[in-house]
Structure 1
Amino acid sequence: MKVNLGQKLSSQLTLTPQLRQAIRLLQMSALEIEQELIQAADENPFLDFDNSPSEDFVDPILEFSHRSSSSKLQRVDAEDMEEFSTLSKEDTLLEFLMHQISTVRANPDVKKILYFLAGCVDEKGYLRESLEELRASLDQLDLSVDLSERDPLFDEALGLLKKLDPPGVGAMNLQECLLLQLENTSDADEHIVQVAGDIVTHCLEELGKNNHDKMKQKVKCKDSALHGAIKLIKSLNPSPGLQYSTDPGQVVTPDVFIKKVNKRWVVVLNPNNQPNVRLRSEYVEAVKDIKNTPENMPFLEKFNEAKVLIRSVKQRGDTILKVAQAIVEKQQGFFEHGDLAMQPLLLKEIAETVSLHESTISRVTNQKYLQSSRGTFSFKYFFGGQISREAGETVSAKAIQTLIKQMIQSESTEKPLSDGDISTLLNNEGYQIARRTIVKYREILRIPPVHSRKKLNQEL
């Protein structure tokens, strides 16, 4: 074997402790960095962290929970903030049900009861009160019928509730929830569905114990059918409501505000969201007289750690502002006209604009929020895929989703649009979009498929 001795020149990136800290702070939320600085100030005598609100800033938005400020930051007038009060969030289960009920054609009193029942559904999608208790609560509704006619209206409304999406909603217990979902199953073998229904009806306890022999004895079926039915049941959702947001009042802290200046939307840092951390002047003076000896090293190290942390916090604020400015500049149309004017945007584009690495942009957009007259949005909201048009231009996926939502909202109740219909209509407008993409976007929007919308309208 021949051995060669030589030199090789290569470059290697080594993350220093300071760089690691800067990266860690960059991806923290406002609340997380506040907690981090409180702890750091407790452990380091050189640090002074003030998390009290600014005396000259009155914040009219009650959702704000973070109260750090800095007098050196650009100020925001309270009167300018009054219009910024809408928080954007994912639909809750209740909002999703309300949207469906608004499209239902039914007796006005039935719809009142239907809205009432939707409000009684818990976060998992169940009605936890008994039917007697629910009926007794109808007195609070302004119904134009006498007592003798209330029960039939209640039963009709309850039946409609159980036909809404997600399948299984409005059930009184797990057994009914699973049965409702089995009734909505259209792509499974009829015999398997029947066996699954028998198992849910008569063998839930045995199913929980995985007692196949007892189940087979009760439902009287072959092994293949039994295994197919069990597999089908396991594919059902025992808590259909949990796929929706269960915290409609989620508290988020905007890192920046978006306001209009000279016909352009610009970014302003939230003054009550910038950590006011500094060195304690009395300790800084004391350090000047301390000699660099081994016994003084722990004290001097704390001093250096404090300076590095303050520098990292400032760099974090500068980077957030720089990235937010680049996003807003790219999405001027959105802030002026809404989702239809959303531009396709990739992390790479912002990285090139602000001369930062794409991974840094990813960290900056994590748990960071901007607040505008259109609501409060995560930085990540403005990034997404794109759809090509025949003319060669591109539009954002969110703009297409908005078009789909508008088309379905204005569709005929007798003949709702299928995914293929929507794909054809969009292609006729020059958008190159496949049916499977329509399905994906419709599911993101939590819009039921055409057969569910059609079935509901026919039954009404």
Structure 2
Amino acid sequence: MAVMPGLQINIGQSQQLKLTPQLQQSIKVLQQSALEIQTMVEQTLEENIFLELDQDEEDVLADDSAALDAQDEATTEGSLSSEEDSATTDTALGNDLETDASWEDIYQDDPIPSLALTHSGDAEEWTAPENYTAEQRSLHDHLLWQAEIHEWDSDLDQLIAQYIIDALDDDGYVDEPLQTIAQAISEHAELPITEERVESVLKVVQTFEPAGVAARDLQECLLLQLNADTRDGPTTALLEQARDLISNHFELLSTHQFNRIKRRYKLNDDQLEALIHFIQSLEPRPGRAFAVVENDYVVPDLILTRRGDRFVLELNSEAYPRLRLNPEYIQLAEQIKDPSQANALKEKQQEARLLIKSLQHRGETLLRVGRYIVDRQQRFFEEGEKAMQPMVLREVAEALDLHESTISRATNQKYIQTPRGTYELKYFFSSGVAQYGQDDQSATAIKSYLREFIDAEDPRKPLSDSKLVKLLEEKGIHVARRTIAKYRESMGIPASSERKKINYFK
């Protein structure tokens, strides 16, 4: 069984290229995220008796430069230099793996103190107080509770209400046609249910809290909230105007035709502003208050820190479980005389060695790619998005003598923790924009400037694309107006005319 990465050529009536098992494993491991790696390792530890965690080195962090061959002492200390290009390539996987698969060539000798909270008791059972959360009732549960205490005319009506509540989306809108709901209830109850009866029950559900729930569109949602508003005083006139506007002239409101609204209702600027602000106080997504917020956590593969005037790139030890072969089980396996059992155990050993090598290769590849990115984008880490340099996969692949697909796998779902925050590695790739004979400018940098200019603009006099071109030229960036329009649209920013309408009452 071949263990070296490479291609096999079978010559017969046809030629076929086959990836060796080790190269297949290396590709699979490289493209997985840190969380997927942790899950895979945990599962493999349960299935393969020859693998075990290297507990003696559990708290040691990875040193970026030790994974690369023939580096000078300054590089070993973690400094990043543009002259460092003697790292091992992605095909340089040797077959001389030690029994314990030591990672001393990747991990530092001096551990960095842990930032874990101190506490008493069993570490495996203790949970930090901030990890406890109060139970949060969902919109579905809140509406079902109201349906249970409501006095329905019949049990069938309550059943219809439950079906309607189940049909609501996260924003509180009815997500299915009433006819579809009626058909589903008819099949379940084995009774003919009409769409009219479903709509009558829907009217009841629409009286539940929060106001505006169970609407079929935004117009109905806003009207439900206005109809539920029973305030007296000066608000009464606003209520009547808002109801009429949304009921009969909703298209004027949705298209920001404020001048036509003023003429139709004979309003001055102050009265129009009060009316629009009143409508803006309504909730277009009534289910939002019950939305369960779940944070997406990522485990960074690389950690970038600054020590003095140098950046230090390291593998995150928590993202790379340190594995080794269990020497006791290897000795026991050598004593097995039965050929079939011996071969099965030998395959398990080979699988364990293959996984250890693949993990090591993954770490080395990510370090190489990460080192190049940090060196290329060093100004970004010092100055921010505006200093981002254009960089594409082909550039990195040629510099590191790797294939573009390898760079793509090494940057997709791989994260780096930096003093500026945690970023996916592919975030640092952006195409270059030509500048009439000057050096190309990163698209990310241009978007950063556009966002800054638009955030600071006068809401009553938004900046046109032509004006944005001039402002960029003052920063030494020369791009065409159509490029500005393309980037503005990709950022979800409307044109200046639309922004003026949206910002009219801000």
Per-residue deviation, residues 401-448 of structure 1 (Å, max 9, x unmatched): 011111112222221012233234435655342333223322333323
Per-residue deviation, residues 155-202 of structure 1 (Å, max 9, x unmatched): 99x99xx9xxxxxxxx9xxx99xx66993399xxxxxxxxxxxxxxxx
**Match of 1:433?**
479
SS at match of 1:452: helix
TM-score of the two chains, using structure 1 as the length reference:
0.59
> Matched residues in 2 for 1:28 and 1:382: separation?
19
TM-score of the two chains, using structure 2 as the length reference:
0.54
- Are residues 1:183 and 2:217 paired? no
- Are residues 1:381 and 2:416 paired? no
**In structure 2, do the counterparts of structure 1 residues 79 and 306 end up closer, same or farther at CA, with 3 Å as the change threshold?**
closer
Comparing 147-156 and 283-292, the one that deviates more? 147-156
- Are residues 1:337 and 2:362 paired? no
How far apart are residue 282 of structure 1 and its match? 1.1
**In structure 2, do the counterparts of structure 1 residues 427 and 337 end up closer, same or farther at CA, with 3 Å as the change threshold?**
closer
Unpaired stretches in structure 1, ≥5 consecutive residues: 1-6, 58-68, 83-121, 139-145, 163-170, 187-237
- Are residues 1:278 and 2:278 paired? no
**In structure 2, do the counterparts of structure 1 residues 360 and 247 end up closer, same or farther at CA, with 3 Å as the change threshold?**
farther
- Are residues 1:36 and 2:40 paired? yes
- Are residues 1:45 and 2:58 paired? no
> Matched residues in 2 for 1:424 and 1:262: separation?
39
CA contact (8 A) 2:38 2:319 kept: no
**In structure 2, do the counterparts of structure 1 residues 151 and 369 end up closer, same or farther at CA, with 3 Å as the change threshold?**
farther
SS at match of 1:362: helix
Work out which of the two has the higher radius of gyration on C-alpha atoms and give 1 or 2. 2
**Match of 1:369?**
415
> Matched residues in 2 for 1:48 and 1:180: separation?
66
SS at match of 1:48: strand
CA contact (8 A) 2:256 2:502 kept: no
How far apart are residue 357 of structure 1 and its match? 1.1
> Matched residues in 1 for 2:469 and 2:362: separation?
44
**In structure 2, do the counterparts of structure 1 residues 418 and 310 end up closer, same or farther at CA, with 3 Å as the change threshold?**
same
The CA RMSD measured in Å over matched residues stands at 4.6
**Match of 2:25?**
21
**Match of 1:77?**
112
**Match of 1:130?**
211
> Matched residues in 2 for 1:308 and 1:405: separation?
48
> Matched residues in 1 for 2:388 and 2:419: separation?
15
- Are residues 1:348 and 2:429 paired? no
> Matched residues in 1 for 2:252 and 2:387: separation?
38
SS at match of 1:77: coil
SS at match of 1:442: helix
> Matched residues in 2 for 1:413 and 1:81: separation?
47
**Match of 1:266?**
312
- What is the identity, as a one-letter code, of the residue corresponding to 2:51? L
How far apart are residue 296 of structure 1 and its match? 2.1
Comparing 13-22 and 293-302, the one that deviates more? 293-302
Aligned residues: 324
CA contact (8 A) 1:346 1:384 kept: yes
**Match of 1:401?**
447
How far apart are residue 76 of structure 1 and its match? 6.4
Per-residue deviation, residues 205-262 of structure 1 (Å, max 9, x unmatched): xxxxxxxxxxxxxxxxxxxxxxxxxxxxxxxxx99x99xxx96721111111111134
> Matched residues in 2 for 1:130 and 1:407: separation?
38
> Matched residues in 2 for 1:48 and 1:431: separation?
55
State, as a whole percentage, how many aligned pairs show the same letter: 38
How far apart are residue 37 of structure 1 and its match? 1.6
SS at match of 1:376: strand
CA contact (8 A) 1:420 1:435 kept: yes
> Matched residues in 1 for 2:116 and 2:468: separation?
40
How far apart are residue 304 of structure 1 and its match? 1.1
How far apart are residue 23 of structure 1 and its match? 0.1
**In structure 2, do the counterparts of structure 1 residues 45 and 13 end up closer, same or farther at CA, with 3 Å as the change threshold?**
same
Q: How does 1:107-256 map to 2 (within 5 A)?
A: 124=171, 129-130=210-211, 148=233, 183-184=254-255, 249-256=295-302
- Are residues 1:293 and 2:364 paired? no
